[in-house]
Amino acid sequence: MLKRLSSNSNFSKGLWKILNQRNMSTSKLDASKLQVTRVSQKSQPKPNDQLVFGKTFTDHMLSIEWTMEKGWDAPVIKPYGPITLDPASCVFHYAFELFEGLKAYRTKDGKITMFRPDKNMERMNKSAARICLPTFDSDELIKLIGKLIEEDKHLVPEGQGYSLYIRPTMIGTTDGLGVGYPDRALLYVITSPVGPYYKTGFKAVKLLATDFATRAWPGGVGDKKLGANYAPCILPQLQAADKGYQQNLWLFGPEKNITEVGTMNVFFVFKDSKTGKKELVTAPLDGTILEGVTRDSVLSLARERLDPKEWEVNERYYTIYEVSERSKKGELVEAFGSGTAAVVSPIKEIGWQDEDIQVPLLPGEQSGELTKDVANWIAAIQYGKEVHGNWSRVVADVN
Ligand code: COI
């Protein structure tokens, strides 16, 4: 990762030296140094119907301290519990915080697997480099997360739609109010047994096309998973909720380009009424769009599995005006969001100015046809019914 930064002409030699020395001359993250302290009594799993997203946590957490002087300390797995920090810690004042979201699944053959953890680690390192927090060896953190899951494997829920949500987090812990780069950090990982992300369960959602606030902009950090990207979106989300919509559909610029949804990337399906050809479209990764792992999986599977005689799969700019016009022409076929937490979430309606754009669903169902297919393709891989390259990584045996 840091190699990529070195080739970026925006980084002078002096700046490069500061960023580089944090990783080169000090201890590397090393999973073999793990120390484990276990809870005295394991907790019992909750029934699936009592799981509220991100409200229940497992018995243990992973915690690793970093200092600029020494590098990464020995990783520790310990009972889940509060963190004590100085009130002047830079995380509280200047938002030195980033996180990831990935999931582990219980497969039919009694294994626990993680889905594409390498992609999350790659993105986590990019987020860390962007806010001057330390980077780390992805494989070492994947091994450590595997050990954490192994400790709490009895709490990984069973059944399609249920999984263990994994939340790696990194914060700057340098105390002092001067604004500068952190020389201390804490990387920790907590895990939470989960079902559907939305309170409405596995139902199609309503979005409010939002141009009264902006989530991300060119030259900003919209493609990084920083906590600071989320807090400013809550007020617009409440404004959307007040009008009866679950999430914002973020628009950008005078063109009103569609970018993404509150906690998901977004896809639309159009059908050209003259040629009959269908198009699956999502916004391009131009630095304002979160580089979603589910987004990438949807695009890969669609490009592999959809017949190119009937389909085009495009990453291109498109606007709310196009969606509105094509809906009027009967060319809007379906739409869905994709994300780790929300997986594949069908969309049924988009509020825009004075109209409510109705997104077609299959008769009597909560989803469009491609949305259903894509959700099934991904679930088959995640729940171990199908192997797709190295997308699933076994971390524990349940039996
Ligand atoms: C995810 O999908 O993992 C997210 O990070 C979305 C959200 C829960 C913040």
The CATH number of residue 324's host domain is 3.20.10.10
Cβ(377)–Cβ(301) below 8 Å: yes
Q: Is 254 among the domain residues?
A: yes
pLDDT of residue 3: 38
- Give the number of domains in the chain: 2
Query: Are 19 and 157 found together in one domain?
Result: yes
Query: Are 89 and 175 found together in one domain?
Result: yes
Work out the mean pLDDT of the chain and round it to a whole number: 93
Q: Is the CB of 263 under 6 A from ligand 1?
A: yes
Query: Are 167 and 248 found together in one domain?
Result: no
Domain extent for 215: 205-367
Residue nearest (by alpha carbon) to ligand 1 atom 8:
341
Q: Is the CB of 237 under 6 A from ligand 1?
A: no
Query: Are 311 and 177 found together in one domain?
Result: no
Mean pLDDT of 23-33: 85
Query: Are 278 and 317 found together in one domain?
Result: yes
Query: Are 133 and 214 found together in one domain?
Result: no
pLDDT of residue 17: 65
The C-alpha atoms of residue 121 and residue 136 are separated, in whole angstroms, by 9
CATH number assigned to the domain comprising residue 188: 3.30.470.10
Query: Are 218 and 352 found together in one domain?
Result: yes
Buried (b) or exposed (e) across 342-369, using 16+ Cβ within 10 A?
Answer: bbbbbbbbbbbeeeebebebeeeebbbe
Q: pLDDT, tens digit, for every residue of 88-145? A: 999 999 999 999 999 999 998 899 999 999 999 999 999 999 999 999 999 999 999 9
Of all helices (H) and strands (E), which one includes residue 106? strand 102-106
Q: How far, in Å, is the centroid of ligand 1 from the Cα of 263?
A: 6
Q: Is the CB of 337 under 6 A from ligand 1?
A: no
Is residue 279 pLDDT above 80, yes or no?
yes
Q: Is 71 among the domain residues?
A: yes
Please, is 97 exposed, middle or buried when counting C-beta atoms within 10 Å of its C-beta (0-12, 13-18, 19+)? buried
